[in-house]
Structure 1
Amino acid sequence: MPIDPLPDWVPTRRRAIGDRVRAARTAAGLTQEQVAGRCGLDRKTVNRLEQGHTSPLLDHLLLVADAIDVPLADLVRA
């Protein structure tokens, strides 16, 4: 059963992951729309991931990492 409410560090880490996704995407010279198209997601999903608004699915992180051509570990490192 999930903890409710979540500890403060959880959304903080989620935003940090989103920041790393955004940085990797821009370093690759890709727009959110291009990444979304490469991995079969919509742009809003990529945006929500980058903003850290919602908990991303592991599958979405895997798809985005592949679309940007970076290891998943680079996106989720502590």
Structure 2
Amino acid sequence: MPPAPPSPRVLAARRAIGDRIRAARLHANLTQEGLAERAGLDRQAVNRIEQGHASPYVDTLISIAIALDVPLRDLV
């Protein structure tokens, strides 16, 4: 049996995290590709995270925070 889909509250929180990542990326004058390169990801992964379509591991969020030079708490 497949896992249950995330609740609406979880989806909203995921989108909010993606919005904060996008805002920090734009503030740093980076493209998705630039952030991906700095964080060791591919551009599609950054896009999925920013759109709220992916649920990244904590390690991925830490890599993104380091790449953006912002505290992790500012993203989550």
TM-score (norm 2): 0.91
Per-residue deviation at 1:40? 1.0
Matched, 1:63 2:63: yes
Counterparts in 2 of 1:1-78, with a 5 A limit?
4-76=4-76
- The SS at the match of 1:26 is helix
Gaps of 5+ in 2: none
Residue deviations 1:12-31 (CA, integer Å, cap 9, x gap): 00000000000000001011
Question: For 1:34-76, what per-residue CA distance to the aligned partner results, in whole angstroms no more than 9, with x for missing partners?
Answer: 1111111100011111000021111111001100111000000
Q: How many residues align?
A: 74
Greater than 4 Å deviation, 4+ residue runs: none
Shift of 1:4: 2.5
Distance of 1:46 and 1:7 partners within structure 2: 22
Alignment RMSD (CA, Å): 1.1
Normalised by the size of structure 1, how large is the TM-score?
A: 0.89
Mapped to 2, the partners of 1:73 and 1:42 lie a distance apart of 23
Structure 1: any 5+ residue segments left out of the alignment?
none
Provide the rounded CA distance (Å) in 2 between the counterparts of 1:18 and 1:62.
Answer: 14
